[in-house]
Structure formats: C-alpha cells, structure tokens
Amino acid sequence: MALQAVRGLDKAQMSGDIAVIILTFNEEQNIAQALRSVSGWTNENIHSRFSKHRIGRLDIACRYGCHIAVNKFVNYAKQRNYALDHLPIRSEWVLFLDADEWLPDALKREISTLARIRPKKMDSISTGS
C-alpha cells in the first residue's frame, strides 16, 4: 500500500483530500472487502482500475460508486501511471490499495492525520516492508 496521497468515523476523521485507486485483475473474490473498507472514507469517489484482459464483474465496483477505467495490462508501474494520468483525480493525495487489502478504521485515522499535518515538502508516505 502506498499513499502518494467511513464507517465509524466522524467528519473530522475523514480523509478529506485522498483518492483511492485499486488496481484489479481477476480479483472478484477480494474487491468487495477492499471497497467496503474505504467506502465513505474519502470525499472523492473511489477509482477502480480493471485490466482489459479480464474485466470481471463490474457491478461490484459500481455498487460502491467507483469511477471505472479500463486499460490493457502491461505491468503495475504502467497501470499506476495510467491511472494517475487519465483518471479524473481532484485530490491532493492518492492511495494505491491492492484489491486483496483493506483498511481498518485505526489505519484510516492515521493516514487521514498524516495527510492533514504532513510537512509541505513531503510527497509520499509508504507503509509495509
């Protein structure tokens, strides 16, 4: 998970200025949990990227109000760059979330706080190893 950028959360704890991009490929079994975990957390709609090779069930993403873009898969770097260059993102921060990941409320609060108080020169936040 990388932030270049709710259920149970009040307005003060919402991210405010984070868009979520979920790159998907054959993830019909996982995508609903990922979408549920970020639905309502950001003020901007979730952006879900599906590869042309296997679009799967778009109705899963549609139920969560996603903006869906389709692009031929070459590699993850090209998919991320395509998403950043072509999706209608208005937020200052973008969170890339894998379709098999989900965000618990405590992590959403931490990310929201970091996005609000970050130093002006900071341009990314990464988690994980």
Residue of 15, 22, 41, 44 whose CA lies nearest to 97: 22
Q: Is the pLDDT of residue 120 over 50?
A: yes
Counting Cα atoms < 13 Å in the Cβ hemisphere of 36 gives 8
At 11 the pLDDT is: 43
**Which domains does the chain show, CATH number per domain?**
2-118 (3.90.550.10)
Antiparallel, parallel or unpaired: β 93-98 and 67-71: unpaired
Q: Is the pLDDT of residue 105 over 90?
A: yes
Percent of the chain with pLDDT over 90: 7
At 76 the pLDDT is: 85
pLDDT of 19-57, one tens digit each?
888 888 777 788 889 988 998 888 676 766 665 545 556
CA 116 – CA 111 distance, rounded (Å): 9
At 54 the pLDDT is: 53
* Dihedral sign for Cα atoms in the order 1, 80, 13, 115: positive
At 52 the pLDDT is: 54
Residue 73: count of CB within 10 angstroms of its CB: 16
pLDDT of 78-91, one tens digit each?
888 988 888 888 88
pLDDT of 60-74, one tens digit each?
777 877 878 888 888
